[in-house]
Amino acid sequence: MTFLPEELLADQIANFIGDVRHVAVGNASPIPATAALLARERGKLQGLGRPYVSLLGSAKNTFWTDGGRELFDCAGQGRIDVFFLSGGQIDGEGNINLVEIGDHAHPKVRFPGSYGSAYLYYVVPKVILFRTEHSRRTLVPRVDFISAAGRSEPNVHRTGGPVALITNRCLFTFADGRFTLVSVHPGHTVEEVIEHTGFDFERPSVVPETPAPTDETLKLMRDKVAPQLATLYPQFTAKVFEHRESALLG
């Protein structure tokens, strides 16, 4: 079957989610939400009854009844296995910047702020970084402001951190403070990834192409996931799952 880039990314993210108990997805994150719901549908098919998926912007898909602190308390209890973060800048050590570009005293660009990243990055076992603009502007040698650090000293209590970074061009994994290029999406090249990445990263001598979603996965996304997404992400759902003709990828 043909598929859209969004479907490729969601499939890859769902693979990273794996078999876990609870995936939480922040606001304005339609592709991670698609991936989380896909993981849940796969869990249903295997009779697992997991993961539990919390979509933070959705009253229907969250269980919170203890106020805004509950998400963070829940993570602190070790009850959130996967979360997603992005960054105005992301550097090669996995540091993310959601605050500003330029000198702290006189920044040139201001982003909204760190949200919960300075906490969740440290306590959610699998944080999947997500940035659809893969450029030297976003993937930098060193972030100007560390909203949350990619790694910590050994004596720092840390139960979480980044495990992967997915972009519009490729997929990296993260371990021991370094990114490793795992695969390049169809239509993109390793050279292109090197050219547009501001930090050094590991890579095998032959970098495979990111595998296309299987027909089974595409059907799950389109038939089961899309209807669940429509209320929270109507525009995204319409574009990716309803009016596909306009944007097909071979």
Instruction: Select from 47, 103, 108, 250 the one that contacts other proteins (CB under 8 A).
Output: 108
> Is 118 a residue that touches other proteins (CB under 8 A)?
yes
> Is 153 a residue that touches other proteins (CB under 8 A)?
yes
> Is 74 a residue that touches other proteins (CB under 8 A)?
yes
3-state secondary structure of 65: coil
**170 residue type, one letter:** C
> Is 137 a residue that touches other proteins (CB under 8 A)?
no
Instruction: Select from 1, 19, 44, 66 the one that contacts other proteins (CB under 8 A).
Output: 66
Instruction: Select from 110, 136, 137, 243 the one that contacts other proteins (CB under 8 A).
Output: 110
3-state secondary structure of 194: helix
> Is 174 a residue that touches other proteins (CB under 8 A)?
no
> Is 112 a residue that touches other proteins (CB under 8 A)?
yes
Strands (E), 151-245: 162-167, 170-175, 178-184
Measured CA distances, 240 to 4, 100, 221, 248 (Å):
7, 32, 10, 9
* Residue 185 beta carbon to other proteins: minimum distance, rounded to whole angstroms: 26
Residue 45 and residue 217: Cα distance in Å, rounded? 11
Instruction: Select from 145, 172, 174, 241 the one that contacts other proteins (CB under 8 A).
Output: 145
Strands (E), the chain: 22-25, 52-55, 82-85, 89-91, 96-97, 100-102, 107-110, 126-131, 139-140, 162-167, 170-175, 178-184
> Is 27 a residue that touches other proteins (CB under 8 A)?
yes
- Residue window 32-61: x/- pattern of binding to other proteins, with contact defined by CB under 8 A: --------------------x------x--
Residue 189 and residue 105: Cα distance in Å, rounded? 39
The interface region with other proteins, picked from 133-141, 150-158, 174-182, 192-200 by CB under 8 A, is: 150-158
Instruction: Select from 113, 141, 211, 227 the one that contacts other proteins (CB under 8 A).
Output: 113
Instruction: Select from 44, 69, 142, 243 the one that contacts other proteins (CB under 8 A).
Output: 69
Around 82, how many Cα atoms within 13 Å sit in the side-chain half-sphere? 30
- The structure tokens listed for 124 are 């959610």
Q: Indicate the Cα dihedral angle 138, 139, 145, 146, nearest 10°.
A: 130
CA angle 195, 199, 200 (to 5 degrees): 90
* Residue 54 beta carbon to other proteins: minimum distance, rounded to whole angstroms: 9
Nearer CB in complex with other proteins: 82/181: 82
Nearer CB in complex with other proteins: 67/250: 67
> Is 156 a residue that touches other proteins (CB under 8 A)?
yes
Give the total residue count for the chain. 250
Q: Which residues contact other proteins (rule: CB under 8 A)?
A: 22, 27-28, 52, 59, 63-69, 72-79, 98-100, 104, 106-123, 145-149, 152-153, 155-157
